[in-house]
Amino acid sequence: MVSPFEVLDVDEDADDEAVERAYRERVKRAHPDQGGSVEEFQLVRRAYRELSERDADGDESGDGVDPADVDLTEDGEARAPASTRVEFLDYEAIVDYGWSLDDDELFRKASHADLGPDAHGRLLVHPDESLLEAAERSGFAWPFSCRGGACANCAVYLAEGKLSQPTDHIMPDDLAERGFRLSCNGYPLTDELSVVFNVKQRPELDDLILPPGPFTRR
C-alpha cells in the first residue's frame, strides 16, 4: 500500500487547501494526454478521494492506496473526483424506431419515446468502476462475454464524452475513431457520457463478437 500523502506529495498534516492544490498539480502531470499513464492517473485520483473521504468522516489516518487498484478519472481539469453521469440507450430501440446511430437528436428522440427503463435511462459510474460494472451494479443486463477487451460483445457507441480504453485487443482503429468502445474495461474520463449499448448487432462488429458461452450475456 502507498500512502495517499506520498502519492500527492503532501505532509500528513496538510490542510484541505494544500491537498487540493497538490492534487491539481499531480493530476495534470499524470494525465495520459500530458505524458502520464492511465495507472498513474488512477492512483492520483484514488489518493485524493481517500483524503477527501477521510476529512468528511473525521478520520485522520489516510490508510493508503493500492497501485494495482483501477480507479479512473476525469479529463485534466483536475476537479474533485465524482461519479460520472451516463445516459444510455439500447441499440434495439434505434432499430425499432428507424433512427440513425449518428443522429445528433438521437437521445432527445429517445426521451420522447415510450421506452422502458432498461432501454433508455441514466446511471452513475463510480470512480472505481468500468461502464459495464456500473450497469450491472445498477441492475441492467448489458451484453458481455470475455470481459478482457478481446471481443466486441460488450461494445457501446460513444455519442458524447470520453471513455478510456486501457485494454483493447479487438477494436480496429477505424471503428474506434467512429466512436465504438468496449464497456467491460471502459472507464469514464468526463463527468457525463451518452452511450448506445448492445451495438454488437451492428454488421461492422460481426467478426469481432464471440459465440454464447457459459459466462456470456448475449
C-alpha cell at position 115? 421506452
pLDDT at position 34 is: 64
Of how many residues is the chain composed?
218
Task: Let me know whether 121 and 201 are in one domain.
Answer: yes
Confidence of residue 160 (pLDDT cuts 50, 70, 90): very high
**Contacts of range 148-154, beta carbons closer than 8 Å, 24 or more positions apart:** 148/184, 148/185, 149/182, 149/184, 149/185, 151/208, 151/209, 151/210, 152/180, 152/182, 152/200, 152/205, 152/208, 152/209, 153/200, 153/209, 153/210, 153/216, 153/218, 154/182, 154/183, 154/184, 154/200
pLDDT at position 155 is: 96
C-alpha cell at position 54? 477521510
Q: What is the pLDDT of residues 56-80, one digit of tens each?
A: 555 544 444 443 443 444 444 434 3
Contact 151, 169 (CB under 8 A): no
Task: Let me know whether 181 and 109 are in one domain.
Answer: yes
71 falls within a domain: no
Domain span at residue 21 reads 4-57
Q: Which CATH number characterizes residue 120's domain?
A: 3.10.20.30
Task: Let me know whether 164 and 127 are in one domain.
Answer: yes
pLDDT at position 60 is: 46
Task: Let me know whether 157 and 95 are in one domain.
Answer: yes
173 falls within a domain: yes
Task: Let me know whether 164 and 125 are in one domain.
Answer: yes
Task: Let me know whether 42 and 142 are in one domain.
Answer: no
213 falls within a domain: no
How confident is the model over 10-34, as a mean pLDDT?
Answer: 79
Q: What is the pLDDT of residues 73-109, one digit of tens each?
A: 444 443 434 689 999 999 999 999 999 999 999 999 9
Q: Which CATH number characterizes residue 19's domain?
A: 1.10.287
